[in-house]
Amino acid sequence: MPAFNPRIFSNPDRLKQIAPARLKAFLEPWKDYFQSRKLDVAAWSTDDMPLEAIAGVLMNPDASVPEDMVNALYYVHETASHEAMDELLDRAAAAGIEIDKDHEVSVADVSVQIWLAQPMLLQRQHAETVAFRRSNFMYFAGSRPEEKAAEIPSITDAIAKSMQERMNNWFEVKRRGRNSRIFAFPRGEKIWLLVRHGMPMRREGKHQDDGESGIAFYRPQQHDVLIYDSATDEIGVNAGTKGERELYLKTFGEALFGSENYFDRSERYTLDPLRELGPAAMANGDIEGIVGVRFVEFGRLWSGKGVSEREIRKSEDLFKAYGENWENCLSGGAFTHAIFRFAFEGSKRERSVMIRPANIAKYERESDEEVIEAWLKARGFWAIAAGADDDVLEST
């Protein structure tokens, strides 16, 4: 069940975004609950809806609040708040849902009509929005043989059901409940995968209608996102805990590629030394075989409201280009990759390596790997994390 935020529809002005007749139809399935709270849905007049009273009930849910009503309120609110009218109308048309041809219809009106016709369509629309809003991922390299062509894996209903069942067993053991769901969104060479699941139960104090203090006990909902890039054979994972990330890598590796170990688990690289040490991070005198290192490119992701901006900076030597201002130039955003050019003893030609946290390094020549790895470790770019607590949340 989604985390119930009683303020989602607590403001009568929010309820006014939905046409009265449509609001009445939307809430009618839970008339018994409203009746138990001294509100008679059947008696409501669409000319004079008791919005203050309805909001009061929704703001102070009691222990008998219907779970399906909580879900409906959540998804209608989320899609009405974050979706464009055009997108919702297009989805409704594609699904054969007739939306009233009322030019004064609001986004909330459209969301309610879709929910009344096909609740799962609205849930999928919400899932897609969540998936494409995420920007902070940990990337893991796959083990596809070089001779094998790139292709996007197909996730059939049977495959999704099998993966959900496997994940449910883990979620249940970890006190997160069952009934997870997978939503897949193929786009071009990539496929976005959203995993919706429960979190550990939450217990907190609540204020009751009679002025007394009570206890609310519910299970919040978590959305984790994965992106598989068939062109590079890499998967990006945005998950709440290390344990969940491990579960997804095993589950998707086994289901889509036939092996739990298809994706490399190691969290090997960090680009933090660029910000912490600046030009000193390019020191190489202590590494035999390397006579020079230049920082020539980096990518950075800036999170915005609804969209993210990807930035790439290049130079023959970025630290020389930035000079004394290097700290300001490198502050902010999240590094996506960095490219270094190495000059080797006895070689006229420089060769590069690209580092992409958390575990991807791309070398021009395999024989360079050992000496470059020695440099990465010495400068702090190679930072295998110690086993973190399984339930310590990471930034998403």
Asked if residue 169 and residue 123 are part of one domain, the reply reads no
Confidence of residue 209 (pLDDT cuts 50, 70, 90): low
Report the pLDDT value the prediction gives residue 147, as an integer from 0 to 100: 81
From 257, 283, 315, give the residue that closes a domain: 257
The H-assigned helical ranges of 182-280 are: 242-257, 272-277
Does 39 map to a domain?
Answer: yes
Q: Which one is predicted more confidently, 219 or 289?
A: 289
Produce one character per residue of 242-271: b if its CB has 16 or more CB atoms within 10 Å, e if not: bbbbbbbbbbbbbbbbeeeebbbbebbbbb
Asked if residue 343 and residue 332 are part of one domain, the reply reads yes
Report the pLDDT value the prediction gives residue 344, as an integer from 0 to 100: 96
State the burial class of residue 213 (Cβ atoms within 10 Å of its Cβ: 0-12, 13-18, 19+).
exposed
194-to-128, 134, 239, 253, 303 alpha-carbon distances in Å:
8, 10, 10, 15, 19
pLDDT tens profile 288-316: 999 999 999 999 999 877 678 899 999 99
CA separation for the pair 341, 353 (Å, rounded): 7
> Does the pLDDT at position 238 exceed 90?
no
Average pLDDT over residues 108-135: 83
CA separation for the pair 113, 93 (Å, rounded): 12
Q: Which one is predicted more confidently, 396 or 31?
A: 31
Report the pLDDT value the prediction gives residue 178, as an integer from 0 to 100: 92
From 132, 160, 176, give the residue that closes a domain: 132
The H-assigned helical ranges of the chain are: 12-15, 20-27, 31-36, 51-59, 67-82, 85-94, 107-117, 119-133, 157-173, 242-257, 272-277, 318-322, 326-330, 369-379
Does 292 map to a domain?
Answer: yes
Asked if residue 112 and residue 17 are part of one domain, the reply reads yes
> Does the pLDDT at position 136 exceed 80?
no
Produce one character per residue of 122-148: b if its CB has 16 or more CB atoms within 10 Å, e if not: bbbbbbbbbbbebbebbbbbbebeeee
Confidence of residue 356 (pLDDT cuts 50, 70, 90): confident
Report the pLDDT value the prediction gives residue 123, as an integer from 0 to 100: 86
- One DSSP character per residue, 99-126 reads PP--TT--HHHHHHHHHHH-HHHHHHHH
> Does the pLDDT at position 396 exceed 50?
no
Report the pLDDT value the prediction gives residue 7, as an integer from 0 to 100: 41
Report the pLDDT value the prediction gives residue 252, as an integer from 0 to 100: 94
CA separation for the pair 296, 82 (Å, rounded): 39
> Does the pLDDT at position 57 exceed 50?
yes
Give φ, ψ of 383 to 5 degrees: -140, 80
Strand, helix or coil for residue 205: strand
pLDDT tens profile 90-120: 889 998 998 888 767 888 899 999 999 999 8
Task: Give the range of the structural domain holding residue 73, as residue numbers without chain letter.
Answer: 12-132
Number of domains in the chain: 3
The candidate with the shortest Cα–Cα distance to 319, out of 347, 355, 344, 293, is 293
Asked if residue 212 and residue 186 are part of one domain, the reply reads yes
CA separation for the pair 319, 315 (Å, rounded): 9
> Does the pLDDT at position 390 exceed 60?
no
pTM across the whole model: 0.54
Question: What is the chain's mean pLDDT, rounded?
Answer: 85
Share of the chain above pLDDT 90, in %: 44
Asked if residue 163 and residue 152 are part of one domain, the reply reads yes
CA separation for the pair 186, 129 (Å, rounded): 14
Q: Which one is predicted more confidently, 275 or 134?
A: 275
State the burial class of residue 357 (Cβ atoms within 10 Å of its Cβ: 0-12, 13-18, 19+).
buried
Peptide bond into 117 cis (omega under 30): no
> Does the pLDDT at position 381 exceed 70?
yes
Confidence of residue 33 (pLDDT cuts 50, 70, 90): very high
pLDDT tens profile 251-291: 999 999 999 999 987 777 899 999 999 999 999 999 999 99
Asked if residue 161 and residue 117 are part of one domain, the reply reads no
Do the beta carbons of residue 320 and residue 330 sit within 8 Å? no
Does 394 map to a domain?
Answer: no
Asked if residue 63 and residue 112 are part of one domain, the reply reads yes
> Residue 325, Cα to own-chain centre: how many angstroms?
34
Report the pLDDT value the prediction gives residue 388, as an integer from 0 to 100: 37
Asked if residue 330 and residue 285 are part of one domain, the reply reads yes
> Does the pLDDT at position 395 exceed 80?
no
Q: Give the E-state strand segments of 127-220 in sequence order.
A: 138-141, 181-187, 190-198, 202-207, 213-218
> Does the pLDDT at position 387 exceed 70?
no
From 257, 291, 326, give the residue that closes a domain: 257
Does 6 map to a domain?
Answer: no
CA separation for the pair 260, 140 (Å, rounded): 13
Tokens representing residue 127 in the block: 């899932």
Asked if residue 279 and residue 250 are part of one domain, the reply reads no
Asked if residue 72 and residue 181 are part of one domain, the reply reads no
CA separation for the pair 369, 132 (Å, rounded): 35
